[in-house]
Chain A
Amino acid sequence: MMGNPASTDRDWVTLLSDNSRTGGWREGSWQVPKGVRWQFRAGRAILSAPVLRDKLLYVAEIHGAVYALDADTGRSRWTRQFPNWIHSTPSISGNSLLFGCDGGKVYSLARDTGKTIWESATRGEVWSSPVVRDETVFFGSADGRFYALEHKTGKPRWTQNIGGRISASAYAAEKHVYFGCGDGKVYALDASSGRIEWSTPTGDGIDSTPAVVDDLVLVGSEDFFFYALDAGTGAVRWKFETKLGVSSSPAASKDVVFFGSKDKNIYALDIRTGKLRWKTFAGSAITSPLVISGPVVAVNAQGPVLCLDTVSGQVLWRAGLGGGLQSAPVLAGGRIYLASENGMVYALE
């Protein structure tokens, strides 16, 4: 059982919606937003993605402030200021909100009050989003280590020395944890012990968070390729070449995986074969994660947010509200929540 599933289609509890890291894919319809329901000025750049649960939207801005906003009104319920920068997308599990800081700490806050439950230190920036499964918090750090902590207390369960800088978030499956590393390898660790089960090299560093669909680990690399690896062995099942690095995290539906490349295209590939279904020119290098809601896939294209038809790749709608590069939109409850590089948070519906 996953540790932090989105409880309803109105929740979006971690990067790419939930622990499946599939980018929010659900069956259903989608409607073009008619306007801005509310906007909130955080004041500083927001590079991480918001998360949502029980009508509270949580946003972390770069200079260390964390906000809990009423998802209906945009009013702040509570705010906490932390001493270090925050690149990490928060993650929700139970009543706790987890995120990392550039100072090397990972925090667990009470979701309703913002009070600190525990904090744990590493020796490098934690840009990745913590993922929770079976009462264990998993994350990598720029100190080259991968950590597993006890969810309730923050006490270490195990640590694995990887060696390369880890900035991408992990995918936690039942028995294994998968992640990409700055040393160019994709790793699978035993979730209970941290033992390295396999590692598969790519040609350059990895900044993309993997998605796992059935027995395939789907992830992009700076070596220009997008990979599908066998989840059990790490063997390359197929790989697809783009014209530049792939740091965007993929979104996956039942049989199609979507991702962006710095070559400015958004790609849709058949998950089983790696064959191209469509590609759409976005006009800007794509580095932020893609998300899916019903029949549309959405991405922040360095300013405008694009929504494309999942079947044809046709651009259905675009909004030019902000410029966050790392921030991914949240599509939940019939709304789109956006956080921008100029410090604004928007709710569209």
Chain B
Amino acid sequence: MKREPPQSIADYGPLFFPAGMLLLFFVVPFGTMIAVSFFQRQEGGFYTPAFVFSNYERFLSAFFGGVLGFSLMLAVTVAICCVVLALPFTYLLTKLTRRLQVFWLVALLSVLSLSEVIIGFAWSTLLSRTAGISNLLVRTGLLDQPVALFPSFGAVLTGMVYQALPYTILVLYPAIIRLDPTLMEAARTLGSSPIRAFFNVLVPALRNTIMATLIMVFIFALGSYLLPQILGRPQHWTLSVLITDQAIYQSNMPFAAAMAVFLVLVTLGLVALTLLVGRKGEKA
């Protein structure tokens, strides 16, 4: 069957609804946010329409630079941890029987039904001194007395990886299951060990998928603001936490909007850079 290119406006008809939705629920709110980021903040009140750069000026400081840097670093770390854990897991998953695969996928989907609040409080209990897993280690004689494992960077990372891992697996799964099984068989026939074949054949074959997954988890993790608050110390708070502070608690919408715009721009820039580097690598 040959696909005809659209001839008339009517052929584009089915696109109008999603385009309208995108305009209404993404472009308009985002445009409003950009507009508000240039408004004049009224201290002790709200804001008045204006066109000023003071909100962006306030953001350009070593302090906020540090917070932004930490947020990016955290999101990158979460993305790498997730992919490193999910890739072998998903590969092994595709080797299981159909029944077991369905079981695992349902289990993973059910983790997605948990809200960030529940995940945060559950991990804070698990890592606490009074009721946490360190008590089990004391019971088995590995520790002398129970210790608190949160708030700490490790706790924030654990919580966020736990939250993002199901997404990672669900994104990797279709790509891996569609992969030609003869690739691995050929590698094995030619004498490569399973681990060597995994790294030399499977990983390069999935390059684009892995890149896309990393970017997706990175962006997902960048927006997290609850887990760093529940499981981390103030130095582990992400830029999203400070944006929330400004918007909700300081009623400083212009500054919050400016920070959010900046975060979006930096994110888009990083994603573009990654894709650019990836394309160059492909040509070489």
B and A form one assembly: no
